[in-house]
């Protein structure tokens, strides 16, 4: 399973707006993608609510994983961007 560690780029962390943008993008993919913070179970990246439960603030490391490497890279790129700007 491909995975990639990235740093949260949004100034507000993975809260409402960034989580919604990531969840919408993940929901449009053909494969499942998951997000996790170190030490916690992964959550479905297609669920904004589940993303917000991670409590990932700006600068936190998040592990992005899934079955398709291109999909993992696409979601990882969103996690790294400041989506609240």
Active centre residues (catalytic): 15
- Name the residue with tokens 């499942």: 32
Nearest residue to 49 (alpha-carbon basis) of 69, 81, 24: 24
């Amino acid at each position: 399973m491909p995975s990639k560690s990235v740093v949260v780029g949004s100034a507000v962390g993975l809260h409402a707006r960034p989580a919604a943008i990531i969840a919408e993008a993940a929901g449009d993919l053909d494969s499942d993608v998951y997000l996790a913070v170190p030490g916690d179970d992964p959550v479905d990246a297609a669920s904004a609510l589940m993303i917000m439960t991670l409590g990932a603030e700006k600068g936190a490391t998040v592990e992005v994983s899934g079955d398709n490497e291109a999909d993992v890279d696409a979601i990882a790129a969103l996690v790294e961007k400041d989506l609240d700007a």
